Structure 1
Amino acid sequence: MADHIHGTHPAIVRRLKRAEGHLKSVIAMIESGRLCLDIAQQLHAVEKAITQAKRTLIQDHLDYCLEETVGALPRDQRQSIDEFKSITKYL
């Protein structure tokens, strides 16, 4: 579905590919008997990259798809949509 490709998607893909590389590194570290602290640090990097990719995707969806669906709203009705978009940054 090419109509669902947004400007942020290439950056999300790059971030996920980086996370994939980190994850492969973690697997190799475990298999080679590396220290748990080193492994935990790499797992943290994977987790952080995936979390950031998720946040970016959700924000992108809200900025483009939700806006398109909701359309123009009067200022008094707009506040709850804007607050919802703001609070999702804490996911």
Structure 2
Amino acid sequence: MEGIDRTKELNLLKTARGQMDGIIKMLEEGRYCIDISKQVLAVQALLKKANLQILEQHMHHCVTDAFENGSKEDRNIKIEEIITILDKYYK
């Protein structure tokens, strides 16, 4: 979406990508499994944080706009989108 600063999210995802490359190298080198697992958990935490920030931006911009300027249908769509994401998150 235009006008949204995605710098934080991009930095988190780029960091996660770098860590993923490191994990692949660790696997190729036959490094200790626990060390690899710790790095996988670190990547998961970065992805979770990036997703939370993306959802926060969505709530502050897209959802707010739908409630301020959109139709009832627009508002219901935004609510359903959030419910769908939360459902996937909690599974």
Q: TM-score, normalised by structure 1?
A: 0.72
Question: How do 1:26-41 and structure 2 match up within 5 A?
Answer: 26-41=23-38
2:66 to 63, 66, 69: 69
Percent sequence identity over aligned pairs: 27
Q: Which residue of 2 aligns with 1:57?
A: 54
Q: What one-letter code is carried by the residue in structure 1 that aligns with 2:8?
A: A
Unaligned runs of 5+ in 1: 73-80
Shift of 1:12: 0.3
Distance 2:41 2:19 in 1: 10
1:12 & 1:59 partners in 2: Cα distance? Answer: 11
1:45 aligns to 2:68 (yes or no): no
Taking only aligned residues, the RMSD between alpha carbons, in angstroms, comes to 2.0
Cα distance in 1 for partners of 2:41, 2:62 equals 31
Kindly tell me the number of residue pairs found equivalent between the two proteins: 73
* Aligned partner letter, 2:22: S
Counterpart amino acid of residue 44 in structure 1:
L
Q: 2:22 aligns with which of 5, 25, 28?
A: 25
Per-residue deviation, 1:63? 0.9
- Partner Cα distance (1:44, 1:6) in 2: 29
Could you tell me which of 4, 7, 19 is aligned with 1:6? 4
1:59, distance to aligned residue in structure 2 (A): 1.1
Structure 2 segments unaligned to the other structure (5+ residues): 70-78
Give the superposition deviation at 1:27: 0.2
Higher RCO structure (Cα 8 Å, ≥6 apart): 1
